[in-house]
Amino acid sequence: PPRPPAMGVHPARNETRALKSAYTPSEVDGICTKLETAAGRKAAHEGSVVNRIAAERDLLKICGAARDLLQVALGGDKEHLADVFGGDCARFHRMRSVLDTVLLDANQEDDRWNGFRKSIDTVEEILKQLGLYRPWKRGPPERIAYEVPPFLEPGAVVHLPATVEGQCPLDCLRWSVAPPLPPLLVLHPQTGEIYGRPKIGVTVPEATYVVTASNLAGSASVEVTFAVQVAPPVNLRYEHPGLRPVQIY
């Protein structure tokens, strides 16, 4: 026969705790950021069918993860769902924004995309039923950042996506940079990605470029510093006196 629960332990409460711990606000924030980044990367490749399709495949993988997370949320504790997706409803709207702004090229019937859409529709219905749905009050970008190496090698393909913090969907931002980027490097005006392929044999001294993202609510800027040249060797050392030096990169 099944063992009775231990004194002071309520099975239903344990189950509720397990459902609440199945997904966290930070986990949802991470999925939102990945969705926005992947959507921005797809938009940045509008001029290349091959790259655009590849970016779409990457986006659909993240949509599958988002769908699975939402299905856990919908099958779990509604109070926890309200805590995570309610309030200013920013997490809900960030997901909805990706669905509303991305146009798929070859995967309109993909189960991950359609399952993601169906799940977010259900989340919206629940928030409205609970009286928690709020229109998105889009604020200014609070902080933008890039992971930029100190040297970009001539002839190498460059893809440097922007990371944005704040209640501002990427599709509503406009981007600019000053001074102009080196030849054959481009700042995408809708996604903020720095991309291109510096010309082989052409070097550009180290310089600082100010990238600005703005919308109707405000703007944020960040400085990025790099040179276009082959990276020099670093950490030069000798293994043994009298032997030739070994370069460590």
Number of Cβ within a 10 Å radius of residue 13: 9
- CATH number for the domain formed by residue range(s) 143-228: 2.60.40.10
Give CA–CA dist 144/212, Å, rounded. Answer: 8
Look over the chain and give the mean of its residue pLDDT values, rounded to a whole number.
84
Tell me if the bond preceding 179 is cis, omega within 30° of 0.
yes
Asked whether the whole model's pTM tops 0.85, one would answer no
pLDDT above 70: percentage of residues in the chain: 83
Distances (CA, A) of 167 to 120, 134, 218: 18, 13, 11
In the predicted structure, residue 151 carries a pLDDT above the cut 60: yes
Domain boundaries, the chain: 11-129, 143-228
Q: What is the pLDDT of residues 191-245, one digit of tens each?
A: 889 999 999 999 999 999 999 998 867 889 999 999 999 988 877 776 666 666 5
